[in-house]
């Protein structure tokens, strides 16, 4: 029939102006007298009005959409037949544009906005799948982006015309009339007429996301047969190779959304939506690993390099250097210490060595004695700084003239030792001109030699005690 403005579709719905052509017929804006608002009326075309399959699909669109209780599904107000037998559907009037027109204007969709679109579309699909309804025609034309007063995007899912269908017959219905673009978004099982489930809709939504991110469709074909072969045999391209701004996490998300085997896809629409939100928020770093925490180390003021240290002997200095430099290297992820830190280690080692030498020199310094005072014998104490401690099994015994008790010297950090036994000379003066008879001398510490006495030994360069031959006679 020919539709004109003022035509009454129902006693309460009157046509106002044409809105365009829908997938299966004409679309008009109409006044709803009872609701006192504008609505949309959709008619089936005359060519399809005699096709039983098309008539069933047209009627199914209204009933399936009404069965899905979701704010993200277009609201159905009425459907039926006009006086002349023409089917019609009355639905809410939406203000905005579908995703197809948005892509034609923008080329691609930013990831945050695409995340919002996918999230709300998945909410609508989740409600439909819970109700046992498979949409089977997910494409940019059926995802409507509504304008809102606060500027946020609100998605409405349209056209449930082939919902609940799983027979190969509807493949021919899909390629009938003005909806030839639908096969670009079909899943492999849907394209060859196999039974489908909710994961077929998720494949189609993944193809829509690919087109929104890259501006191109993942599968192309000059004919319907070539397109079907591409969908069933080719692997979807990697999105980041077309749009370098995309992250590897998005590539992994699409590979799962459009997996060849439906068992490897997302199980639910909610899982698919959550995974995409996580993928666009992920910030991979090439420095993940042991070196990653270097960026979190507190900044340090650069230390000026120390002046070159004089060469030191290998034995005393090597060990302090190793113990000082190792902790610095460990705080920088096992990296070699800088030149300034090596210099600080050398200086620290020399300070430790210098302190030890000062303590030894203070111990060896001869104390002042009174003139003519006879020296007294002192207890033999082992050296704590270097060299082996004297032992009773060595059999070294030395008789020395008494010496004066030395005055207090610098404080020593050596532990207090127990009194050692000493050997005193026999009573009576020695024979005139005869030297005191003694056995092999016992090593003595500098404190035991008395003030101003010539010890019977000396230390070589390796701190080994060497006895003087003339004192051993």
Which residues are marked as active site?
Answer: 137
How many Cα atoms within 13 Å fall on the side-chain side of residue 251?
14
Please report how many Cα atoms fall inside a 13 Å half-sphere around the Cα of residue 419, on the Cβ side.
Answer: 4
Q: Which residues of 49-58 are buried (b: 16+ CB within 10 A; e: fewer)?
A: bebeebeebb
Taking the CA atoms of 316, 320, 326 and 332 in sequence, report the sign of the dihedral they define.
negative
Instruction: Give the tokens for residue 420.
Output: 């050692």
Question: Read out DSSP for 271-306?
Answer: HHHHHHHHHHH----TT-SGGGGGGGSPP-PPPPPP
413-446 as b/e: b if 16+ CB within 10 A: eeeeeeeeeeeeeeeeeeeeeeeeebeebbbbbb
User: How far is the C-alpha of 153 from the C-alpha of 120, rounded, in Å?
Assistant: 10
Q: Are 314 and 278 in contact (CB under 8 A)?
A: no
Assign residue 250 a region (left: φ > 0; alpha: ψ between -120 and 50; beta: otherwise). alpha
CA 154/CA 150 separation, integer angstroms: 11
What gap in Å lies between CA 330 and CA 316, rounded to an integer?
23
Q: What φ, ψ does residue 4 adopt, rounded to 5°?
A: -135, 160
**DSSP state string for 321-345:** HHHHHHHHHHTTTTPPPPHHHHHHH
250's CB contacts (< 8 A; 6+ apart) are 111, 213, 239, 240, 276, 279, 280
- Alpha-carbon span 394 to 339, nearest angstrom: 50
Q: Whole-angstrom Cα distance, residue 154 to residue 148? A: 7
Q: Which residue is it, tokens 């004089």?
A: 310
The residue to which tokens 């009627």 are assigned: 59
- Tell me how far apart the alpha carbons of residues 109 and 140 are, in angstroms, rounded to a whole number: 12
| 129 touches 64 (CB < 8 A) | no
- Find the distance separating the first CA and the last CA of the chain, reported in whole Å: 144
Instruction: State whether residue 13 is helix, strand or coil.
Output: strand
Question: Which are the contacts of 268, defined by CB distance < 8 A and separation ≥ 6?
Answer: 126, 129, 198
């Amino acid at each position: 029939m020919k539709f004109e403005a003022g035509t009454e579709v129902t006693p309460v719905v009157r046509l106002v102006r044409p809105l365009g052509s829908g997938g299966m017929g004409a679309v008009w804006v109409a006044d709803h007298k009872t609701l006192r608002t504008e609505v949309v009326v959709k008619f089936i075309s005359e060519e399809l009005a005699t096709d039983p399959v098309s008539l069933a699909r047209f009627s199914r669109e209204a009933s399936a959409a009404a069965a899905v209780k979701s704010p993200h599904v277009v609201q159905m107000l009425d459907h039926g037949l006009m006086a002349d037998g023409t089917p019609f559907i009355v639905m809410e009037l939406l203000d905005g544009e579908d995703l197809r027109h948005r892509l034609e204007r923008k080329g691609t969709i930013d990831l945050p906005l695409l995340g919002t679109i996918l999230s709300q579309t998945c909410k609508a699909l989740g409600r439909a799948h819970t109700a046992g309804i498979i949409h089977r025609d997910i494409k940019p034309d059926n995802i409507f982006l509504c304008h809102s007063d606060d500027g946020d995007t609100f998605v409405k899912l349209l056209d449930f015309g082939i919902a609940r269908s799983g027979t190969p017959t509807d493949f021919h219905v899909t390629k009938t009339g003005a909806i030839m673009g639908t096969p670009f978004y079909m899943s492999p099982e849907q394209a060859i007429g196999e039974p489908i489930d909710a994961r077929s809709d998720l494949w189609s939504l993944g193809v829509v996301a690919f087109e929104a991110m890259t501006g191109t469709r993942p599968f192309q074909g000059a004919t319907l047969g070539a397109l079907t072969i591409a969908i069933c045999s080719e692997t979807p391209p990697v999105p980041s190779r077309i749009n370098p701004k995309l992250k590897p996490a998005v590539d992994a998300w699409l590979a799962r959304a459009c997996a060849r085997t439906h068992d490897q896809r997302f199980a639910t629409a909610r899982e698919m939506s959550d995974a995409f939100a996580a993928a666009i928020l992920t910030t991979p770093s090439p420095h993940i690993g042991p070196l990653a925490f270097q960026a979190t180390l507190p900044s340090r003021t650069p230390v000026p390099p120390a002046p070159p240290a004089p060469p030191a002997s290998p034995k005393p200095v090597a060990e302090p250097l190793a113990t000082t430099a190792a902790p610095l290297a460990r705080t920088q992820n096992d990296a070699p210490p800088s030149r300034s830190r090596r210099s600080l280690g050398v200086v620290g080692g020399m300070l430790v060595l210098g302190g030890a030498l000062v303590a030894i020199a203070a111990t060896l310094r001869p104390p002042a004695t009174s003139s003519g005072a006879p020296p007294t014998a002192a207890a033999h104490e082992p050296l704590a700084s270097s060299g082996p401690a004297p032992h009773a099994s060595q059999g070294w015994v030395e008789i020395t003239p008494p010496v004066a008790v030395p005055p207090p010297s610098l404080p020593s950090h050596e532990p207090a030792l127990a009194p050692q036994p000493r050997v005193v000379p026999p009573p009576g003066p020695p024979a005139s001109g005869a030297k005191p008879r003694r056995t092999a001398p016992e090593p003595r510490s500098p404190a035991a030699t008395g003030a101003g006495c010539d010890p019977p030994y000396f230390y070589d360069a390796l701190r080994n005690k060497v006895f003087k031959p003339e004192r051993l006679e």
